[in-house]
Structure 1
Amino acid sequence: MLNRTDLRGRVPRPAELRATLPRAEVNVDAALHQVRPVVEAVRDRGVEAVLEYTEKFDGVRPATVRVPQAALDTALAELDPQVRAALDEAIVRARAVHADQRRGDVTTQVADGGTVTERWLPVSRVGLYAPGGLAAYPSSVVMNVVPAQEAGVGSLVLCSPPQAEFGGLPHPTTLAAAALLGVDEVWAVGGAQAVAVLAHGAVDTDGSELDPVDMVTGPGNVYLTAAKRMLRGIVGIDSEAGPTEIAILADETADAGHVAADLISQAEHDTLAASVLVTTSAQLADAVDAELERRVAKTKHTERVDTALRGPQSGTVLVSTVDDGLKVVDAYAAEHLEIQTANAREDAARVRNAGAVFVGPYAPVSLGDYCAGSNHVLPTGGFARHSSGLSVQTFLRGIHVIDYSEAALREVAGKVVALADAEDLPAHGEAVQARFEGDAR
């Protein structure tokens, strides 16, 4: 069922390997020309433009952008008890993990009388995005809100697309998750217009202020990603998220049913989702294909899953050894990487590039999506080679505080002047020398 790439006997150099491996092609630049008029209209005309595009893209026009508190309270009160219990558990585990990520201030004494302190301060106001296209994503609310709260962000606004089915409000489970987390500012707006109004702010139809944010985080479609790229600089962003992806490194000890189920679980997200198996065993690859044929026909979103698995972004890569497999998955740098080998823990410890690594047969990606305690907002498209997933650190800024006494500056003054002269910036050196002009008298 999956396309195959046979790399047994050789592993190409990194550049060739990156070009060889299956990957979803998403052209964010091509979406910019479609997004630009939306962003500019929201900048120039505010909520009027937001609601026009909301009606065009989502088929509904809310009375106000901001969701009334009563709607949040109702959504939480009517939330299925089992879903509430699951969200409660997801929040508890996420808080435990993210609380341990908080950095403390550090002061380094560089010289007698000279210190540099690194202070960690949270971003003041953040816009968080929860998608609402093919499904509701209350888990994305948890994954965005918890690290922001643990970082100490003082002002949060959650955006999620309005749904005609729910009277122009975001999905009630999304609203309930926000209420459960204590987020009382929710805007019924999605896509590029959400990023635009978060960046520029506006006045709602009832006259209330929709204050702009300093940073926007959260996954979305290519149009939301294009808006984030366009507005980067006006607001900070976490990343440019592409279609979701899973890579599984497996040997002959892996269970074909487990592997197939996990590949399907990611393909369920989107027709562009990537599901990649890297294995040392052709027999396992055959067994996984057979399991996929059987399981895809029975899954709820059969057509979506089948399209994703047969697409050019998905496939099986055959390798000679686990060592070769590790080179392949490091070159691929998957958003989610499962290690299902005989020595899974040891092999996982050698992985260098992945958004998150899931070790062994009992740590499927879907555990991380919901209740592992880890964050599921992760780098895609190979960005894991240089970027991290969403965390408390995303919402913190490091500020250096330099505190030098007169004696400490005097001690190093000659070296500052020497470096300033070497760079032909004499005024830099003179700014130091000015402090000691009286010494010559």
Structure 2
Amino acid sequence: MKHNPLLTIFLLALLVRVLYGIGAPLIVYGPDSTGYYEIGRDIIVRPSTKTLLHPYRTPLYPLFLQGVFYAVGAGGAAEGTAAFDYGIQTVVIIQIILGAAAFAVFALSLKHWIGSPWYPAAAAFLLLDVFTFAWERSILTEGIGISILLLTTAVLLSIIRLSTKRKFIGLFVLFTLGFFLRPALLTIPLSSLPILAWYFRKNYVFLVACLLSLAAFIVIPALYTYANRVQYGFTGLQIVGDIDMLGRILETNIPIESGSQYSYFYNNIKDYQSKQLNPHPFRFLEYYDPGIYANMERFNELHAFNQAVMVHNIPLLGAYTIQNIPDVLLAVNEFTLVQPNLGRPLTTIVWLLQKFYGSIQFLTLLVPVLWIISVVLFVKHPTRTNTVLTLIGAIAVGQILLVAGLVYHDIGDQYGRVIAIARPHMALFLLLAAYQWYTRNRP
């Protein structure tokens, strides 16, 4: 029987996830999960562009969630019921299968760029990172977001190796899915396409494809914002994103005088800070108006207030972002942590893996610095290996800067969750850098 490496890696990845689920059976479900579930239910029950394109959440994960529920006969189930629990368990199973499949495609795509005997060790290192695939057991966008990004990366690597129009179409589809899953994933096309464009600068067809795709991912958010304005009267892209920015303003205590014309937020923030209350943005919003989530006019004011304050404080925000990078890179979300249990060997193994990956997490502090060096080398010598290294680093650094700059701290160390989507890329970037240094300097 012919050996099928893709199937072998898939089965290994699936086995690791199943064993992890036995050792750490927790499913992460929180307030955000409820929001996805309710928006998805509205889309299914009252299908229209107004329910599909929602100012609070983009539609992909709510649709995925409810699609699974309705497929197994649990559509519309109330939280806490047996039908609801069955639906959630089915969602997790599907996410695990998708995660194993995406990892298999991703790992196989690395074989051309990391030679033996490094490749098996690198693949195993990426496979066993429990802080990455643990999120497949969550009812959050990370549940499928990591899989989408792994597939996107595999296609990007394949394009560098052998470019075709079909691959570019597939890449565009994956980029689009990423945006409709989580707008923060716009950093992926915006960081990777300029690198591809420079690599293909002498190939007119693929250079144009890169530039047109880049233009599209500037237009698509603008169209989504336009739909928000027409259907809901909201002038921004996503309300949750504006609340994130409010959280950063509250945390950093940056000057807000440039937003003084937006008196509701200016005056209340001044009052809130004088009382030294919890800088959590949702607590702030509910402190002054528990019913604010139904008030679109207030969120328009928040959007304008954020813009005024952020634009006026760009240098200060840049400094805070750089200062915040170590917190982002060293964060471990407590919701995924387990404790050793002598009566449960698999739980103890999970704990040991968490200890191991946590102990070497400090190495990710090298990623931003080494990436700057890789960019310089890439611009001077845009070889395939330099392109791959810079591209993988750009995906990681784009997410690092976004999280460090715009996302607030939350319970359980939210940074460990939101940066999990880039963990494989941070690790791969360091592995590629080490491998390339070794191959260039070995005797």
Under TM normalisation by the shorter chain, which class is it? under 0.3
- Structure with the bigger percentage of strand: 1
Q: TM-score, normalised by structure 1?
A: 0.25
Q: TM-score, normalised by structure 2?
A: 0.25
- Structure with the bigger percentage of helix: 2
